[in-house]
């Protein structure tokens, strides 16, 4: 699926639940939804872009760019979303989303900085925004726990 479609789905679900999120939260939740989906299905949820290792955790650059106009404020606008999910896919995504929206933004950042996680293995302090891709194999290792 396209990263932007997944992000729009997440935004809309959060608004529907009365818990709109910021771009920072969106980036982390998108990552955790991708991880959880990979863990449960052994398939990548997002297949058109890679996550980048930015200072505050994994980021999908096109999603960041699309929603950066909101700054640190919540994204309150329902997004036009063209994503078709099978019931089991929706259930998997929504389960992880429900857990993530309970967390504060900086708790999400801390979790994305997991000492055994993919981000920590590639992030280089001071090299933020250099488009350092997080390799799929490291994300898979984090998701599947090996």
Q: Look at the chain and count its residues.
A: 146
CB 121 within 8 A of CB 62: no
The percent of residues in the chain predicted with pLDDT above 70, rounded, is 96
Sorted by sequence, the CB contacts under 8 Å of residue 145 that are 6+ apart come out as none
Split at pLDDT 50, 70, 90, the class of 128 is: low
CB 46 within 8 A of CB 23: no
Split at pLDDT 50, 70, 90, the class of 129 is: low
* pTM attached to this predicted model: 0.94
SS3 58: strand
pLDDT of residue 131: 78
Mean pLDDT computed over every residue of the chain: 94
pLDDT digits (tens, 9 = 90+) for 56-101: 999 999 999 999 999 999 999 999 998 889 998 899 999 999 999 9
Q: Which two tokens stand for residue 75?
A: 């994204």
pLDDT surpasses 80 at 34: yes
CB 44 within 8 A of CB 116: no
Split at pLDDT 50, 70, 90, the class of 125 is: confident
pLDDT of residue 73: 96
pLDDT of residue 127: 66
pLDDT surpasses 90 at 130: no
pLDDT digits (tens, 9 = 90+) for 103-122: 999 999 999 999 999 999 99
């Amino acid at each position: 699926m396209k990263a932007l479609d997944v992000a729009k789905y997440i935004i809309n679900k959060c608004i529907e639940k009365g818990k709109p999120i910021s771009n920072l939260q969106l980036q982390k939740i998108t990552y955790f939804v991708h991880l959880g989906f990979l863990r449960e299905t052994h398939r990548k949820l997002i297949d058109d872009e890679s996550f980048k290792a930015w200072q505050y955790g994994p980021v999908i650059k096109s999603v960041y760019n699309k929603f950066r106009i909101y700054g640190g404020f919540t994204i309150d606008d329902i997004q036009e979303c063209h994503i078709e999910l099978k019931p089991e896919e929706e259930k998997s995504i929504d389960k992880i989303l429900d857990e993530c929206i309970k967390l504060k933004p900086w708790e999400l950042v801390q979790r994305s900085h997991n000492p055994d996680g993919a981000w920590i293995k590639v992030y280089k302090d001071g090299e933020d925004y250099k488009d350092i891709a997080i390799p799929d194999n490291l994300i898979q290792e984090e998701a599947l726990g090996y």
